[in-house]
Amino acid sequence: MEKETLIEPIASELNITTKQVEAVLNLLAEDATVPFIARYRKEATGGLNEVVIREISDRYTYAVNLEKRKEDVMRLIDEKGLLTDELKAEIVKATKLIEVEDLYRPYKEKKKTKATEAIKLGLEPLAKQMLEPNYGKQKEEIIKPYLKDDLTYEKAIEGAKYIIAEMISDNATYRKYIREKALRYGKISSKLKKNAEDTDLKFKMYYDDTEGLAYIKPHRILAMNRGEDLGILTVSVTLQPERDIEYLEYQVIHKRHLLFSEEIKDAIADSYKRLISPSIEREIRSMLTEDAETKAIDVFSMNVKNLLLQPPLKGKVVLGVDPAFRTGCKLAVVDPTGKVLDIGVIYPNEKSKGATVDEATLAKSEKTILNFCKKYKVEIMAIGNGTASRETESFIADVIKKNHLDVKYIIVSEAGASVYSASDVAKEEFPTYEVQERSAVSIARRIQDPLAELVKIDPKSIGVGQYQHDVNQKQLSEALDNVVSDVVNNIGVNVNTASVSLLTYVSGLSKASAQEIVKYREANGKITSRQEIKDVKKIGPKTYEQAIGFLRISEPIEKLDMTSIHPESYDKAKALLNYMGLTEDAIGKQEIKDAVAKLDKKEVAKELAIDEYTLNDICEAFVQPLRDIRDEYPTPILRSDILHFEDVKPGDEMEGTVRNVIDFGCFVDCGVKYDGLLHISKMHRKDIKHPSEVLSVGDLIKVKVLDVDYDHHKLQLELLN
């Protein structure tokens, strides 16, 4: 099929033009990256963003694969001499792979079945004749020619029925009808498996649960699947056997008043019970799981994106604390650039269950904290939220209060910190540090620049997902890589300070080329121009074109090198400066802001031959050359005193940070060790289908406590306007 034929449906489904789709596909074919196309080829795509560009790519790939499968199926059927014009038209018309497979099903080479054995006995003509009206004939005279050797009347009928059952099961029209009706009216049930142990009662709500297939929430499908995989639940799909069999009887018998109607009714019942129902149930389970996984990946991706976009607390000296009991809390002081100034350890917590810490050890731990704060002028203490977090927080809060320190503290998610600490990246960065010391560094850096630190960790370990270990891992990894790439390239990267991990996500760069950039600056000192990056090994013309616009030079020789303007547009940028009567020194200053505000952009675009999208991007870069989209997000809550979980009571109003958004609500950190659940029903927004329509990871919100379960450390929250 011609490429143009595939483009039109994509454009229609996405409500864009065929020209836009074609432009995207052509650019991708030229090995342009998605971030590059979204940022620097807006004039070609009409300003499409990364999400739409990837959607175009995915749909086109699906369409190409669908067409290839159609061709293969038609070829295979034709080789058997069975491809009719009518069948060919049906295959060509199919819009989904499952429809093509349904049409191919009767012609597939089958393994040994009851029907194939009956066919070997020569009973296929009898089966076909039984499906004809046979007016004026008797059953015996039709069957008699097939009775030979030990093939009795009863066995001949039985064999023919097996063949008919398989023919009915292979009928694409019947299968499509039953599948669609099942998805609309069918049920899915879960029950506690006999003798199964659900120690933590995680699956209690699924011990005896039945829900409509049309209404069940995606996260419940994944929960059932997990319970089934763990051997705790049995899960089954229920179709509508009576209605389905009635439909099949009408299609096969009632329209033609068959002589063998009773026998064919038996064949239909057998076909439905033995072949159709189990097969459709498997297909439906697979479809539901695929849909649930897609939605879970979407939610996880959205949460990761919002987590990566948390604003950095710039210019702060931070003391990172990795809490622990017996082994002590590891400390790491980092300067505003993330450079480690010192490391240490304190023992403020019980060394074993119920064993208190002696006064001398507490005093020594306090002195260590005070010395670090004084020597390095610590402004913020970042405490990991893992084991012993609450006890460590209590100790830190007491030290701050007792010594009147001008220091705030913040609880930081440790998710992934242990993964990073034991990784090759961490070992290369801190070869002489212990694992917990590396973790303390990571915790401190996470509030200075969350993005720069979190890119070192496998996104699946960041801790903001839902059933991320139960979904297709390849699709999850691809989706999360795309999210991280989009965030990194939207923000831009300082080429002189970025780690290999961060540079690897830059458009066009690989791990090898990122490593070469780091090697180059270590050997030659600070990079002072984008032009200089051409001297780096493994940075060829194509890589340079795709990456350079996302790489920033903080103190450049050429002022435009600090902006998001691509070097290919420098001539246009300089022409615009000349048009406004300004020089590059004005970039970022009030005078250029005033000049840009007065521009008649339509007139300028025409006079300077600059397309509308590029002109707008250049103007934005002139006004805010160091713009960071993360600055638009709320900064995290800093604390100086502790609130104990035991002190929380229903009716309390608190401020909290959204830590995770899931299908049925979100979890909120209110500074009391245990995150509270804000259910979607308590968000008080009309007609919302998903909590992400209201809240995102990192949002600061006000909540009211509805209920407190002190024994199980659970908080039920309500969103306040």
- For residue 275, what is the domain's CATH number? 1.10.3500.10
Instruction: Give per-residue pLDDT as tens, 180-204.
Output: 999 999 999 999 998 888 888 889 9
Q: What CATH number corresponds to the domain at position 410?
A: 3.30.420.140
Tokens 């009719």 — which residue?
84
pLDDT-based confidence at residue 353 (cuts at 50, 70, 90): low
Q: Pick the last residue of a domain from 448, 471, 502.
A: 448
Looking at the structure, do residues 141 and 179 belong to the same domain, yes or no? yes
Note whether 351 and 461 are within 8 A (CB). no
Looking at the structure, tell me whether residues 291 and 221 fall in a common domain.
Answer: yes
- Do 31 and 53 lie in one domain? The reply is yes
Number of domains in the chain: 5
Asked whether residue 602 is domain-assigned, the answer is: yes
Question: According to the model, what pLDDT value does residue 462 have?
Answer: 78
User: Is residue 484 in a domain?
Assistant: no
Structural domain range at position 609:
518-632
Give me 644's structure tokens. Answer: 């104990």
Q: What phi and psi values does residue 703 have, to the nearest 5 degrees? A: -130, 160
Q: What is the pLDDT of residues 59-115, one digit of tens each?
A: 999 999 999 999 999 999 999 999 999 999 999 999 999 999 999 999 988 889 999
d(CA 46, CA 70): 33
Largest Cα span, the chain: 108
Do 166 and 299 lie in a common domain?
yes
Work out the average pLDDT over 498-512.
95
Q: Are residues 413 and 561 in the same domain?
A: no
The alpha carbons of the chain give a radius of gyration, in whole angstroms, of: 33
Is 491 a member of any domain?
A: no
CA distance 223 to 94: 33
CATH number, domain containing residue 524: 1.10.150.310
User: What's residue 468's pLDDT?
Assistant: 73
Say how far apart CA 400 and CA 402 lie, in whole Å.
Answer: 6
Q: Given a cut of 70, is residue 2 above it in pLDDT?
A: no
Same domain, 136 and 235: yes
Same domain, 397 and 350: yes
How high is the pLDDT of residue 197?
87
Structure tokens at 26: 């052509």
Q: What is the mean pLDDT of the chain?
A: 91
Give the tokens for residue 72: 């293969």
- Alpha-carbon distances of 103 from 71, 100, 288, rounded to whole Å: 13, 5, 22
Do the beta carbons of residue 271 and residue 164 sit within 8 Å? yes
Residue the block writes with tokens 């609500």: 665
**Structural domain ending residue among the three candidates 569, 601, 632:** 632
For 313, the token pair is: 């607390």
Same domain, 139 and 250: yes
Residue 483 within a domain: no
The CA dihedral of 197, 200, 202, 206, to the nearest 10 degrees, is 40
State whether the Cα torsion 152-154-157-163 is positive or negative.
Answer: negative
| Contacts by 528-534, CB closer than 8 A, 24 or more apart | 528/553, 528/555, 528/556, 528/557, 529/553, 529/556, 529/557, 529/558, 529/561, 530/556, 530/558, 530/561, 530/567, 531/558, 531/567, 533/495
Q: What is the DSSP string of 485-535?
A: HHHHHHH-EETTT--HHHHHTSTT--HHHHHHHHHHHHHH-S---TGGGGG
CA neighbor of 584 nearest in space, from 639, 621, 552, 632? 621
